[in-house]
Amino acid sequence: MSEYKSGDRIILHIDVNSAFLSWEAVYRLQHGATLDLREVPSVVGGDEESRHGIVLAKSIPAKKYGIQTGEVLWQARSKCPDLIIVPPDYSLYMQCSTALNDLLYEYSPILERYSIDEYFLDITGTLALRKQSPVDIAREIADRVKTVLGFTVNIGISSNKLLAKIASDFEKPDKVHTLFPDEIPEKLWVLPVRDLFMVGRRTAPRLYRLNIFSVGQLAHADPQFLRAHFKSFGNLLWQYANGIDNSPVNPSRPPAKGVGNSTTTPFNVDNEKEALLFLLSLVETASSRLRAARLLAQVVSVSIRKTDLTFFSHQRKLLTPTDNTESLFKAARSLFRELWDGAPLRHLGVSFSSLCNDRFYQTSIFEDERIYRKKSLDSSIDAIRLNYGKASVVRGSFINSGIPPLTGGVIDDYPGMRSLL
């Protein structure tokens, strides 16, 4: 293992192991379950009996059956007939992500949330205050996450974000790895070129045709040769193969672009009552995610797809930003009534955008104390559902309707790395 040199920038990349599945497992164990989903073939996915359902996360035992993230559930079950499938709970996942965020912030304020389950942490300044090595700090963080939060993480350590991220993808789970510049020949260049960040399914075959099969071969290729075949992307590939990245850890990440939620209905919807129940179910889920992320939305969008696959959408800007379920549903309901002509529907969606932090926003002179009572009610319901399950608080309109009170799960919360992208 390379020795840390005083004066080097030290970046950690923290990646939750099988995040959605781990968070589901921990939550269930904390609420009385005896089966640990992480120890049996299991996946987080949609509803097998409806017309939507893919594998969002898988356990290590499920991976041994060849189950892959992104494949449809019926294919996954054909590989493992005893596979356990649980539905996603994005509100819970945001809560877990925020708890991890708060723990990491104790080690450095230079913290960047790359995605819901990945963080970059610049501990360069922390090292000057602690008599610990980067590896010791990383192991302390990993141990605290396991002890305090109940799940495991992989942590990669390096002098830049790129190498730290690559290091965290080495052997899993619950591991700490380094990948400093002097370790590149023995740890990075030996990897298949398809494992390099930014080398996707389309790029890898093109590199193979150029007789480039390892990261080392790519690193030693002529940059002009790569530019001739990949244009400016060739420069980026060459830099990444050589571990070059100067992007900073940005603690002021841009807010979520939007929070969206959609569902393909298990049956064709041809009456307004059922359509509005599906819409309310979507708004319930998406608005709880807004609150978990401490965000307010000022633009509401509704989309519908008919059985003939024609697609329509409308949006509206609210007077003031909000995370209140009732207010967001009223806007969504109005938009839906403008959109729908009564033809049977097979898909509905709702999304919230123009987001801002819930601690700083411009209030309206038309707001009254009722909005604060509504916010308090929403917060109470969120807390009860988190502690006792989603079915612990259900609106009366859903009882005996055959429509789930919380539906969907398309999350748009975090854009990808920028310069690193």
Say how far apart CA 126 and CA 203 lie, in whole Å: 39
> Does the annotation count 272 as an active-site position?
no
Say how far apart CA 253 and CA 243 lie, in whole Å: 23
Say how far apart CA 325 and CA 290 lie, in whole Å: 10
Amino acid in the structure at residue 95: Q
CA angle 241/162/200 to nearest 5° reads: 60
Do 352 and 299 touch, CB atoms closer than 8 A?
Answer: yes
Peptide bond into 405 cis (omega under 30): no
Do 393 and 383 touch, CB atoms closer than 8 A?
Answer: no
Cβ-proximal residues to 376 (8 Å cutoff; 6+ apart), any chain: none
For the sheet containing 258-269, what is the strand order? 258-269, 345-357, 295-306, 311-322
Q: Give the residue carrying structure tokens 């919380």.
A: 406
User: What phi and psi, each to the nearest 5 degrees, are found at residue 303?
Assistant: -130, 150
Say how far apart CA 177 and CA 166 lie, in whole Å: 9
Chain CA centroid to CA 334, Å: 30
Residue of 24, 118, 183, 284 with catalytic role? 118
Say how far apart CA 213 and CA 209 lie, in whole Å: 9
Say how far apart CA 346 and CA 11 lie, in whole Å: 47
User: What phi and psi, each to the nearest 5 degrees, are found at residue 120?
Assistant: -110, 135
Catalytic residues: 118
